A = this chain, B = another copy of it.
Amino acid sequence: MEVEVPKVFMKPLLVPNKTLMGPGPSNATRRVLDAMSNPLLGECHQENLQIMDEIKEGIKYLFQTQNPATMCISGSGHAGMEAAMCNLLEDGDVVLMGVTGLWGNRAGDIAQRYGADVHYVRARCGYALSFEDIREAFQTYNPKVFFIAQGDSSTGVLQSFISDIGDLCRRFNCLLVVDIVASLGSAEFLMDEWKVDVAYTGSQKVLCGPAGITPISFNQRALNKIKARQSKVKSYYFDITLLGQFWGCFGTSRIYHHTVSSTLLYGLREAIAIVCQQGLKNMIRRHIECSYRLQKGIENMGMEMFVPEPNHRMSSINVIKIPNGVDWRKVSQYAMNK
């Protein structure tokens, strides 16, 4: 053979035990990690479908929703964002992105690729959007879809009054997509009560599950827009109608869509079980308390939080200003190594 066996595979896999407290994945507990060493199942085995059903119920509890179209995307949080955009949007649809950091811009890039007419309403860096800003942008653009991240992990900004945005969207006949990748479990989120039409979260953040599988939920208004599409969803992999059929969301018989990773299902199932056993409210309270103590400590050390307004700070991602005269690269590298 022309290409020889790489020698590195004669060495064993060695994975260090890192403390993960960045905006990436969090540490998973031993229970979650152990679950992932269970034997593989086929995607259509009854036992695998049962675990998928349990996860659906778990997501409904976490999102506080009754939506039947609640499932997982087999991909990262980015894939959840893309699934939300490509199912809702057709060529030329006007979409408005609320920007409080990186994620509104990323959603805009994705929507533009899928042919949407993308506009932005941007907050000052480190600040949340005001309701007035959003309302004015609605009047200017009259969007069919509005996107906002409840928590933006690049700035640590928490967007509040999502319930008011939900009401605004109804008045403008607009769909509301909320990114709760980094916030779910660390801040209150009531999908149905707040009239959120699509939401998706990260498995590997506050939930402390494995990366690579992304809970997502669509309500009936969102499904109605999808049913009324003139064109097929451009992505087969992210087509919620097909995926939801496989996840048994529509009361029809399940049709194979793609091979779901049973390994990731096990890990996510156990991560959700831990939240269920702790109670979602307790988990949120714990995050807020820990964050409050951290913030006090930071202030006592004479340092500042990046988000000036305490009510607009995420409790899961606490962004601290690097003091003048300190090289941020060194701080970042130290944190990465330690």
A187 at the interface (CB under 8 A from B): no
What residues of B have a CB within 8 angstroms of the CB of A264 in the complex? 212, 261, 263-264
Which residue of chain B lies nearest to A273 when distances are taken between CB atoms in the complex? B9
A304 within 8 A of B: no
Does A302 reach chain B (CB closer than 8 Å)?
no
- CB < 8 Å neighbour of A38 from B10, B15, B63: B15
Bound state CA distance, A40 and B26, in angstroms? 8
- In terms of DSSP, what is the predominant structure of the interface of chain A? loop
| Interchain CA distance A8-B277 in the complex, whole Å | 11
Q: Decide if B61 touches A113 in the complex (CB within 8 Å).
A: no
- Chain B, residue nearest A85 (CB): B236
* Given A114-B234, A233-B113, A264-B263, A258-B79 contact (CB < 8 Å): yes
A interface residues, tally (CB under 8 Å): 95
Report which of B28, B42, B61, B212 forms a contact with A4, defined as CB distance below 8 A: B61
Q: Which residues of B contact A115 (CB under 8 A)?
A: 234
Choose the segment among A69-77, A125-133, A156-164, A312-320 that binds chain B (4+ C-beta atoms closer than 8 Å).
Answer: A69-77
Complex Cα–Cα for A257 and B82 (A): 13
Given A34-B37, A40-B25, A82-B237, verify A267-B263 contact (CB < 8 Å).
yes
A259 within 8 A of B: yes
Cβ distance A111 to chain B, nearest Cβ, rounded Å? 10
A43-51, A218-226, A288-296, A323-331: which lies at the B interface?
A43-51
Are B42 and A37 in contact (CB-based, < 8 A)?
Answer: no
CA A321 to CA B75, docked complex, whole Å: 36
Shortest beta-carbon distance, A80 to chain B, in Å?
Answer: 10
Q: Is the CB of A57 within 8 A of B8?
A: yes
Q: 14 new A-B pairs (CB below 8 Å) besides A34-B37, A76-B261? A: A9-B273, A20-B41, A24-B44, A24-B259, A25-B259, A27-B39, A28-B39, A43-B211, A74-B75, A76-B258, A78-B236, A78-B259, A211-B259, A212-B213
List A residues at the B interface (Cβ < 8 Å). Answer: 1-6, 8-10, 13, 15-18, 20, 22, 24-28, 33-45, 47, 51, 54, 57-58, 60-61, 63-66, 74-79, 82, 86, 106, 109-110, 112-115, 190, 192-193, 202, 204, 210-213, 232-237, 257-264, 266-267, 269-270, 272-273, 276-277, 279-281, 336
